[in-house]
Amino acid sequence: MTTKRRTPVARVAATAIALMLLAAGCASSRPAAPPQPQAPAAPELRVGVTLDSPPFVMQEGQQISAVGIEIDFAKRLSHDLRRPLRVIALTWAELIPALLGGQIDVIMSGMTITRLRSMRVAFGDPYMDSGLSVLIRNRLGDGFTTPAQALDGTLRIGVTRGTTADAYISQNYTGGQVFPYLSNSDGVADLVQGRVDAFVTDAPMVAWFASAHDGTLRPLLRPLLTEEQLGWGFRPQDEELRAAANASLANWQADGFVDRTIKRWIPLYKAR
């Protein structure tokens, strides 16, 4: 029996196959490369709001998500900080406790900067001038032309608890009954139904509610009962976040974003 001799080409092919199998065996015996570390995800920017504070924050129609001036600001701030946005709806009375308790990072809900609040909350730079005005039932409005005149009578006045309107009325109104409410929407609903005669709140909200109930309610806007400024609230120790928000706000004011946003929601209201 004769043995078939391999040709040079066959010997080369056999050698190549052997080398490939050896390389594959060596590769399989090597330890896998460690996974590359991934950059940690940016933390959420948790924004606390009150949903019945139009035109600052509200639910429009059947929408689940909130809309308004502050929501537009929150979206832009989230983009600037490169942090995903999470809007957390709370009652007005819950906002500051939630901030100080760490449940939210910032209050963006049309909050007035006051001395008492500043003892607990570190406010950013103001973004808007405001003040208190009066929303009155249309049938009573003919007797008054200014907010101050309405408070000289004996009207039944509604306010939202814990607001600057609540503090102002408790100190300055002695003519009639005062009805405190848990929310603006509750107070305005009673005003529409005639259970109270007038409702005192920030001028932008007076203008908004009067527009929403045209023919039933009338705004008494000028001159304002008070002169106030609105700003965002931060924990006192969150200096880096507050500084970053102030920097963004300064840029928005320079490029007109603040003014455009306010005019989008309340076209005739003069921004800061």
Model confidence pLDDT, tens digit, residues 176-198 = 899 999 999 999 999 999 999 99
- What is the homologous superfamily of the domain 45-129+228-265 according to CATH? Periplasmic binding protein-like II (3.40.190.10)
CA atoms within 13 A on the CB side of 83: 17
Q: Note whether 45-129+228-265 and 132-220 share their fold.
A: yes
Model confidence pLDDT, tens digit, residues 157-172 = 999 999 999 999 999 9
Question: What pLDDT, on a 0 to 100 scale, did the predictor assign at position 21?
Answer: 44
Main-chain phi, psi angles of 116, to 5 degrees: -65, -45
Give me the residue label for tokens 């005005």: 133
Question: From residue 18, how far is each of 26, 28, 136 by CA, in Å?
Answer: 12, 15, 95
Q: CATH classification of 132-220 is 3.40.190.10, yes or no? A: yes
**Residue 33 burial (10 A CB sphere; 0-12, 13-18, 19+):** exposed
Q: What is the DSSP secondary-structure string of 103-133?
A: S-SEE-S--B--HHHHTT-EE----EEE-EE
- Summarize the confidence of residues 240-247 as an average pLDDT: 98
Model confidence pLDDT, tens digit, residues 97-153 = 999 999 999 999 999 999 999 999 999 999 999 999 999 999 887 889 999 999 998
pTM comes to 0.81
Domain residue ranges of the chain, discontinuous segments joined by +: 45-129+228-265, 132-220
